[in-house]
Amino acid sequence: MKTAIVIEYDGTKYVGWQRQENGLSIQQVVEQALSKIEKRKIAIVGAGRTDAGVHAIGQVAHINCKLSVPASGLSMALNKYLPDDISIKNAYEVPDDFHARKSAQAKWYRYVFFNGKKESVFYNKTSVHIRNKIDIDLMNESLQYLLGTHDFKGFMTTSSKILNTERTIYEVRAFKDGDYVIIDILGSGFLYNMMRIIAGTTIKIALHKAQPIWIKQIIDEADRSIAGKKLDAKGLMLMHIYYDDSYKEGLPKEKTAYIARYFI
């Protein structure tokens, strides 16, 4: 049996999930903590490469080797060695053929706007501030064009080397909760910077600077140059990764910006 861990993190200070030479990554910090516990070098495999500044409450990674600490006690043991901005929420045994990335059936991402008149000192690390009123109805109208299976090349950063740019979006919604405007997207997978470009495109529509049909045009032409700008990474959060068909039940019925209500 392998061990899988569910990881929550504030990505503000990190170069992203994946270990890199140009700075500190989430993967590196977790591997170092594991290595201290096991007194040997331990590697982990993550479900997705979140970019620098992107957050997660439901990142998943697997550990190939047998550990001295049982899964039931691994979260507590690891959290003793982790900084305040990274936490292991859960650990459990998985079959030998489980792979954090390849076994995933769907992913839920969220983009958060703070739509108050003034910036929030407490939430400016996890949301993008928009002062002007956001039209939720226009945003939802535009997002519906994403539903289904399409070539999403127009919503991918041009430097990406990925050849297969077809993805399926199962559900998408925008809603307001207090001063927050949330975009939730549930899909089979996401291209490099896809969520941040979608957010940049739809916010322009929601501010009455473009029409909803613009989304369809970007998909049809598969042209990144006609899409909106890529928004800041700090507004993006990986919410949950699905490893069974429960994604078919859709996004949680409760709509709230209070992410701690989602138990991953």
- Please give the positions annotated as active site: 51
Listed in order, strand segments (DSSP E) in the chain are 2-9, 45-46, 55-63, 86-94, 106-114, 128-129, 148-151, 166-177, 180-187, 236-242
The residue type of 223 is D
Do residues 247 and 106 make contact, with C-beta atoms less than 8 angstroms apart? Answer: yes
Cα pseudo-dihedral 68, 70, 43, 194, rounded to 10: -170
Structure tokens at 62: 């697997």
Phi (first) and psi of residue 254, to 5 degrees: -75, 125
For residue 245, give every residue at least 6 positions away whose Cβ sits within 8 Å of its Cβ, in sequence order, or none. Answer: 105
Strands 166-177 and 2-9: unpaired
Structure tokens at 156: 């991918």
